[in-house]
Amino acid sequence: MLLLLDAVPDLLSAIGAAAVIALASAAWRRLSSRRAAASAALDESRTLRRYTLLRTSGPDGAPEQYETTRPAGTVIVHRVDGLSQRFELTDVPLGDGTFAAEPFDHL
């Protein structure tokens, strides 16, 4: 019984050391994943995207397109038939590889 009581402090310190190592490892993984996510978001925000301006047509009859690095949800102003019109950039992909830019204040 005395041998068992003498081993308790060593056992508790080993468990404590293992817990500290596990917590430090979990914290390191969490910080690393946050940095990676922030870096990926920054890279995505800098990606050049081409948007098709819905309900517009250029001189050739095809919808007008707009290129920007601005994120989805941004409202842009574009001249259509000599008038300024606002469009909201979206994350909706179209069949031609562009993204949709919806008229913001179209009636």
Mean pLDDT of 21-46: 76
Residue 24 predicted with pLDDT over 90 = no
Residue 44 predicted with pLDDT over 70 = no
The position carrying tokens 């919806």 is 102
Task: State the pLDDT at residue 43.
Answer: 61
Question: Is the model's pTM score more than 0.85?
Answer: no
Task: State the pLDDT at residue 8.
Answer: 82
CA distances for 42 relative to 10, 53, 66, angstroms: 48, 25, 21
Report d(CA 65, CA 57) in Å as an integer. Answer: 9
Residue 34 predicted with pLDDT over 80 = no
pLDDT in tens, 55-102: 998 889 899 999 999 989 999 999 887 888 999 999 999 999 999 999
Residue 84, C-beta contacts closer than 8 angstroms, at least 6 positions apart: 77, 78
Round the average pLDDT of the chain to a whole number and report it.
85
Mean pLDDT of 8-37: 84
How far does Cα 49 stand from its chain's mean position?
14
